[in-house]
Structure 1
Amino acid sequence: MSLFDSLFGKKKASKEIRACEGALEKRPDDAVLLKKLGDLYLKANLLENAADTYVRLGDTYNDKGFYPKAIALYKQAIKIYPGWEKPHEKLAELYQVQGFNREAAAQYVKLSEILEKSGESDGATTYMQKAAELDPAHKTVHKKAQSFDVREAGMMDPLPKTSAQPEVRKTDFYDLNSELDKEIEDLNIDASAENLVDDTGVDSIFKVIEETASEEGKDDPLFLYNMGLAYRETGLLDEAIESFNKVITIGEKLFDAHIMLGITYREKRLFSESLEALKQGASLDEATPEMKIGILYEIAQTYKSLGDNQNALSIFREIQKEHKDFKDVEVEIVRLAGGG
């Protein structure tokens, strides 16, 4: 029984899913295979499995420092399985590490609400306290604080059996609502917080990147390339295409720019433009044989998206001859050959 079966008790009938799981046993940290498996689970309506796989992929990107991708994957897991605590917690921790305290607080609030609905009041209180520490002006924190009876840690310790029961005074309790009022007053923040927007997506990170444009220089190819990646991560494909084309015009970082341009064109279903960009990248002098294998893989993906399965299958088979375990080529061949 696989990890996903043991976690969620789901049966997977698809040969394509089984092939992908088998490939992952050999390469458990392969990001392409994890993404493929998550998508397959989602397509099969195995939502818990899909969410778990996206979180696992998010962890892989998080460990490697690709934080926008990790955030996007955690949010994808939340979208398809919103009642699961784990992706909210992962997202909150990552936001906090990156210094996005308001976004982290919003996730802790959601965690608190999930636990409160399931009757776990202690856990709900803990997460609401975390949210209060990070963003005392959050309107939900301010409202919910009044419903929690939050004791100081010392009051939770059991009393010795021989001790007399002490008289409980108001000062024995932590008045979270009062403390929030003080924090709001000190920070000069509107207590109603009606003007605050609950931004919990990758947009917040993208805005930070965008705001550094004047410092980095708008004609710097590395900056433009990173901006293209950021635009693509947030779904702004036209802007991403513009950035990648600018990099190519400058004449630096050409190979990576051609690949990403081809992929982005494909995502916009501009298949002719995708093939042209990828083939131009393959013709560059700097392209090594290994790099060309990567471009061939993307060309095959474009043919597949175009509906030209014959050309796609032919290229995947050529890749497999040179690199048997390259990405998810084995899975693609099984599917396109009619074995899925």
Structure 2
Amino acid sequence: MPSSPLPVTEAPAETHKVHAALTRSSTSPADLRELEAGLDSLQSDAVRRARIDWTRILLPVAALAVLIVAWQLYVWLGIKRRDLVPGPLDVIGQLGTLGAEGKLQEAVWTSLQRGVTGFLISVVIATPVGLLLAQVAPLRRAFGPLISGLQVLPSVAWVPAAIIWFGLSDATVYFVVLMGAIPSIINGLISGVDQIPPQYRRVGAVLGASRLQLALQIVLPAALPGYLSGLKQGWAFSWRSLMAAEIITVGGSMGFGLGSMLNQGRDLADMTIVLAAILLILAVGILVELLVFAPIEKRLLRRRGLLAGSTR
């Protein structure tokens, strides 16, 4: 008679039950010790990932506190006049005044909206162009030096031309942002593609992938680390380009952004407004890095087993 199939039972969830079941089997003691060490390692890795690394929070806060104290001590020494170098409390008071008037919220929202919109448009344009240049060698040889030259060119150089072409409007700002971000994203993607092992493409070709499938399903995922670096640099360039455009393009249908606040402080010779705008520009850049790019980069590296304590 054919033997009846073995019943399928649900695996116990608790580690001590697994260990007890294995102990009852014919596995050698050395294998059991090795398995137990592996289970303990997995548990410790899970605990480490769940635990908050407070040093990543406390150390930047401590560094910021040291800088603020040094700033206040410099003000107390009276090396410069108070109107030229206001203290931290003066700047905080100015931020409170701007917040009460609604200018602070308007400036942050206007600049952040422009920066994010311009950056997303840059990603949509730069990604297919970067893939095309990375995949087609003649196009890369033809346009590669031009892309690198555009990346080196200061974005503020585009502001006069953009004003002539588009006037004092949001189109001027977006054009400058695009010219600042697109070359960096393209070069980052090309750099990521260059670091892909050639075996990946061969495997895709053997499996019958078309050029489009090869680019989207093999090349782009494998180039993610370099692509992410290009995105981070592209955001930095777009944010800097936006501030330059907002400082220069004043009037017309232009809204009130952080660059406009900085320019207003200069016109009024009010250093509290100038420093408040600088600190807000810096804070937005840091927050975007910490809340958007850092988690994505950490997850990407962990999935590829490039972080300490990662299991994948």
Name the TM-score, length of structure 2 as normaliser: 0.23
Specify the structure having the higher radius of gyration (Cα): 2
Name the TM-score, length of structure 1 as normaliser: 0.22
More helix by share: 2
With CA pairs under 8 Å and 6+ residues apart, which has the higher RCO, 1 or 2?
2
